[in-house]
Structure 1
Amino acid sequence: MRFGRVPVATGLMFGLVLIPMGAAVADPKPTLGQAKAKLDKLNDKADKVVDRYNTATERYKKAKSTYTTLNDSYKRKLATVEDLRAQVIGMAVDSYKLGEDVTSWPGILGSQNPQGMLTGLAVAGQVQQERARKLAAFNQANRGLKADRDKAQDALRGADKERDSVQKERSDILKLVEQQKKLLKKLGAYNAGNPNSVGLKYTGAASGNAAAVLRFAYAQVGKPYIFGGTGPGGFDCSGLTQAAWAAAGVSLPRTTWSQWAWGASRKVSMDALQPGDLIFSNGLGHVSIYAGNGNIVHAPQTGDVVKVVKLSAYGGGLVGAIRP
């Protein structure tokens, strides 16, 4: 038997036999570098979408609180109006039952003695004043009732609109999360984390508020990144910074953008960082806490956990830092 190069036609026949009809040739698998580059893009996009989600959530909470306050006020005023209405109706019924208003001038002048007439006049004045007071109170309360009801209904519509916005952003995030998880698992880099992690003990040189911030943040190490997470079982980046500074008695806004805006007058040079400072990425998609010695503690992205890493590992560049 002679071995040699297989003729082209024969090779094509073999190919037709080996490849099922209609089958497509699979695209080559992405390299590790390509997969990581794709993941970086997904993470960057997710950071921005998560911040929009958090912003929409905060607006919804505020709108819902406004509605609740206005609606409670409306209900209280409605109860007052109904009580006054009952009193006014009661006055009308009493007059009808008597057939003649005993406090009217004919009734008073019909008295057989001067003392009785004077007493009647005094009583009439008191009764008329009381009736006038009740009628005035009813009119005043009833006048503002519709306006209060309309305000409450407007607030409810606003809250519903913000709720819909939250749901849209949440839907977008869930799609991104699935893509991130799938890619991370292919890379063997997915870390589900432990919601009950006891974290690490902070042993740095920070003092005062900063020490309290870092003790809290280090205690969260190992807990999963969760979009919209504010603890205790998981955090997103701004959820962690907000909770850590709350542990030191400082109230920060919820989102990365709002934290940066809040600290507009508290910015510090990247050359003068101190433990506890908040460091923001370009585009304000991410925020971390400076831990000293060139380290940061942060909640990175989906498929990862709260961790302590080198500041130099910050991807995408930095826009600046603030000191709460």
Structure 2
Amino acid sequence: MAVAGMPVGFGRMPMAVGVALALFLLPVGGAFAEPKPTVAQAKKKLEKLNDQADKVVEKYNQAGEKLKKARKKYRTLNGDLTRQNATVAGLRQELVTMAVSSYQLGGVSGWESMINQPDPGTLLSGLAAVDQMSASRARSLGAFDEANKLLRVSRDKAKEALAEADKTRDELAAEKAKAEKMVKAQTKLLRELGTFQSGNPNSTGIQYNGPASGNARAALAFAFAQVGKPYQYGGTGPGGWDCSGLVQASWRSGGVSLPRTTWEQWSWGASRKVSISELQAGDLIFSEGLGHVSLYAGNGKIVHAPQTGDVVKVVPLSAYGRRLVGAVRP
């Protein structure tokens, strides 16, 4: 007897076969789709991505600085090469003029006319002139030869510098590709969590009213004026910042010239390090691995450009979210 609602022919089917068939008829992926990550899992993944992104962005910044230095070196050496070319060209013209003059004087016939002079004084004067001409010619030839050697050295150095610039440009492109991939992954997660902040490139920030004074106060006033602007990897303002770009620009307003990247800033401050327990407003605070830097604002707060999908903000130091390695006082 057939069961109601079941096609004819299923009534006497063995139970195992029926179950197998039922499973086969289930929509593909319906019962076996992987569960969507929980908010906690997504946040944990984002935290890991942010930590990786810090290092990737600083490598990108480092490659950018390396390219700038390589280009500057090439421009300097190429300028030397241009000047050396001009020197060689001038000496070459001098030698050509001298050779033409010698030809016009008549070479051997010139000697004959001097030797046949009846006046001994005229003969001595003529010999002195020839001797002087020979010495001058020797000096010119020597200068020309030396200038040519220097020209070859300058040309080789310029070629090496150009090759170095090309190599660092390729390094920069590779690091940029990594950074773009990381930013894409961060953005996707943040949008899924509903926490992505685009920021306002024209934000006028907030006023600094902390305990800093002097240069540190000027640096923090600048940093606070950037609050609300978006984090942007490789950003050096004015519409977006990364962590080291913000710190560098802030202290530039305070009259102190800092290097561009976190690694360089940490190295620059080798003799200026202070412990976290002795922080003063304006100090640079570095995370473990040197992937992130912030400015201590005083009263237990920091101002920084956190990561992709966030904005320049002021937060408690206790909410920093990264393990700290130390601080530097400009």
Fold conserved (TM > 0.5)? yes
Q: Gaps (5+ residues) in structure 2?
A: 6-14
- Which residue in the other structure is 1:96 paired with? 103
Q: How many residues align?
A: 319
SS in 1 for 2:295: strand
SS in 2 for 1:47: helix
**Is structure 2 residue 51 aligned with structure 1 residue 51?**
no
Q: Is the 8 A contact 1:64 1:156 kept in 2?
A: yes
**Is structure 2 residue 319 aligned with structure 1 residue 310?**
no
**Is structure 2 residue 85 aligned with structure 1 residue 78?**
yes
- Which residue in the other structure is 1:243 paired with? 249
- Which residue in the other structure is 2:74 paired with? 67
Partner letter of residue 296 of structure 1? Answer: I
How far the C-alpha of 1:319 sits from its partner, in A, is: 1.2
- Which residue in the other structure is 1:133 paired with? 139
How far the C-alpha of 1:24 sits from its partner, in A, is: 8.6
**Is structure 2 residue 130 aligned with structure 1 residue 124?**
yes
For 1:191-206, list aligned pairs within 5 A.
Answer: 191-206=197-212
How far the C-alpha of 1:9 sits from its partner, in A, is: 7.5
TM-score, normalized by length of structure 1?
Answer: 0.89
- Which residue in the other structure is 1:19 paired with? 27
SS in 2 for 1:124: helix
Partner letter of residue 289 of structure 1? Answer: L
**Is structure 2 residue 209 aligned with structure 1 residue 211?**
no
Structure 1 residues 8 and 249: CA distance shift in structure 2, 3 A: farther
Measure the CA separation in 2 of the matches of 1:144 and 1:165: 31
- Which residue in the other structure is 1:287 paired with? 293
- Which residue in the other structure is 1:296 paired with? 302
- Which residue in the other structure is 1:34 paired with? 41
Structure 1 residues 13 and 211: CA distance shift in structure 2, 3 A: same
- Which residue in the other structure is 1:87 paired with? 94
Query: After superposition, what is the alpha-carbon deviation per residue over 1:220-262, rounded to whole angstroms, capped at 9, x for unaligned?
Result: 1111111111222211111111111111111112111221122
- Which residue in the other structure is 2:326 paired with? 320
Partner letter of residue 156 of structure 2? Answer: D
Measure the CA separation in 2 of the matches of 1:62 and 1:159: 8
Higher CA-based Rg: 2
Q: Gaps (5+ residues) in structure 1?
A: none
TM-score, normalized by length of structure 2?
Answer: 0.88
How far the C-alpha of 1:217 sits from its partner, in A, is: 0.4
Q: Is the 8 A contact 1:95 1:101 kept in 2?
A: no
Query: After superposition, what is the alpha-carbon deviation per residue over 1:251-286, rounded to whole angstroms, capped at 9, x for unaligned?
Result: 112111221122122122222211101111122111
Partner letter of residue 185 of structure 1? Answer: R
Measure the CA separation in 2 of the matches of 1:72 and 1:256: 32
Query: After superposition, what is the alpha-carbon deviation per residue over 1:142-165, rounded to whole angstroms, capped at 9, x for unaligned?
Result: 122222221221222222222211
How far the C-alpha of 1:23 sits from its partner, in A, is: 7.8
- Which residue in the other structure is 1:162 paired with? 168
Measure the CA separation in 2 of the matches of 1:101 and 1:62: 58
SS in 2 for 1:291: strand
Measure the CA separation in 2 of the matches of 1:2 and 1:293: 76
RMSD: 2.5
